[in-house]
Chain A
Amino acid sequence: DVKVTQSSRYLVKRTGEKVFLECVQDMDHENMFWYRQDPGLGLRLIYFSYDVKMKEKGDIPEGYSVSREKKERFSLILESASTNQTSMYLCASSLSWTHDNSPLHFGNGTRLTVT
């Protein structure tokens, strides 16, 4: 089974702090994603990456950046955390786009609170 591991289940940070959310997958997947989940809004894509050092903006990239230095690891960075970034963050991975219907495999999520 694919395992997607997010480094923290819960994080509490202060406004203005730089925050790193880490995600590691163990199945050699090309694609990795960061989503934000908010009640009533579903999942919204922040960034995704289809290869090492490659990244594409999703629907809500403002205030976030990402890093993918190794295939198995995809980091989400909040350069200066703000209270409106309080949310659940979900990491996911999948096989390459050539596997058309490859599903997403999700991590357990990180509940981030910015005070």
Chain B
Amino acid sequence: AQTVTQSQPEMSVQEAETVTLSCTYDTSENNYYLFWYKQPPSRQMILVIRQEAYKQQNATENRFSVNFQKAAKSFSLKISDSQLGDTAMYFCAFMKPRAGTYKYIFGTGTRLKVLA
């Protein structure tokens, strides 16, 4: 069974600095998808970034980028130029789609606080 581990329950970073959130996963699959979701204090979870396992190039979305190491089963999120609005819970998720079954496996989350 797949598992997703986020080993940092809480982190803090000064505004404008860079922070990296770690995520490791365990799977025997070769093709799958990885996601980072953000849940601000207002609670609605939103997608930050996604990565297809078959792509070697790391995904980037503005200030957010990932370091995807397939052999090491690692999928870390880097936030550059941190802003106060980045304060949130961040969840790493693994997904292997199959017909009729469509399950995400989530990590336990990292609470990030951006300090002014």
Given contacts A42-B91, A101-B50, are A58 and B103 in contact (CB under 8 A)?
yes
Q: Which of A13-21, A68-76, A79-87, A103-111 contacts B (4 or more CB under 8 A)?
A: A103-111
Q: Is the CB of A97 within 8 A of B98?
A: yes
Minimum Cβ distance to chain A for residue B45 (Å)? 4
Number of A-B contacts (CB under 8 A): 62
Of chain B, the residue at the smallest CB distance from A35 is B106
Q: Is the CB of B102 within 8 A of A97?
A: yes
Interface residues of B (CB under 8 A from A): 4, 6, 9, 33, 35, 37, 42-47, 50, 52, 91, 95, 97-104, 106-109
Interface residues of A (CB under 8 A from B): 31, 33, 35, 40-45, 48, 50, 56, 58, 88, 90, 92, 94, 97, 100-101, 103-104, 106-109
